[in-house]
Amino acid sequence: MSACCSGPCAAIEEQFDARRAQRELAQYRKKGPGPTTRMLRDGVTAVAQPIRTLLDVGAGIGALTFDLLERGAGRAVSVDASPASVAAGREEAARRDRAPRVEWVQGDYVALADGLPSADVVTLDRVVCCYPRYEPLLRPAARHALRCIALSYPRDAWFIRMALAGENALRKLRGRAFRTVVHPPREMEGLIRSEGFALSSRRTTRVWCVDVYLRIGA
């Protein structure tokens, strides 16, 4: 996904509908990927070459998938819970003549994880904040990563928590189930390290943190 969500797939489908997917696709075609996507792309390609296989969790319309394919990734499996985002991603893959190199999977990664393949690189761009609990998402993602796992997530700062709390309150008033969550960075880092990884790089914006981890000994 290209933004944050939580709850059942119905809430994700409501938030990431066809209108939003087409808007994000048009923006990507016009301006390229957003800041966190660029930082993940650059961080991964700097340390994880060659990338034979990619698992892009919460891929949205596929901005990170396509950029990593352009940077030399061989094949990708791109997973997203929004049918509209997956449809837009397939549209863009066909336009770029990348359809044979991308397998699109629609559904909740946590529910699908056992049936998905491992990959050299696993990416989660603005996805951790989509889940009320980070462990069921990050644990299988780390285990799927043969060499590298890279993720972006909101910084744990008071002004970010206040802003997200306001957004969540507004969604509640509108009757929407979609929510955003700020998870503790130290605990997430500890989980990933416990799966055999070491932090390779960390970059930040005012709102986001972007981490790239490499598997020790890989």
The pLDDT tens digits for 46-56 are 999 999 999 99
Residue 3 is predicted with a pLDDT of 39
Please check whether residue 148 is in contact with residue 44, taking contact to mean a CB–CB distance below 8 angstroms. yes
Can you tell me the mean pLDDT for 80-89? 93
CA-CA distance, 114 to 107, in Å (whole number)?
A: 13
Q: Please list, in sequence order, all residues whose beta carbon lies within 8 angstroms of the beta carbon of residue 61, skipping any fewer than 6 positions away.
A: 2, 21, 24, 25, 28, 85, 88, 89, 92
Q: Is the pTM of this model over 0.85?
A: yes
Spatial contact of 203 and 210, defined as CB atoms under 8 Å apart: yes
21-36 mean pLDDT: 93
Q: How confident is the model over 127-142, as pLDDT tens digits?
A: 999 888 999 999 999 9
Residue 14 has pLDDT above 80, yes or no: no
CATH superfamily of 9-215: Vaccinia Virus protein VP39 (3.40.50.150)
| In the predicted structure, residue 19 carries a pLDDT above the cut 60 | yes
95, amino acid identity = R
- 87-125 residue pLDDT tens: 999 999 999 999 999 999 999 999 999 999 999 999 999
Average pLDDT, the chain: 91
Helices vs. strands in the chain: H and E counts, helices first? 9, 7
pLDDT at 20: 85
Cis peptide upstream of residue 50 (ω within 30 degrees of 0) = yes
Single-letter amino acid, residue 67: D
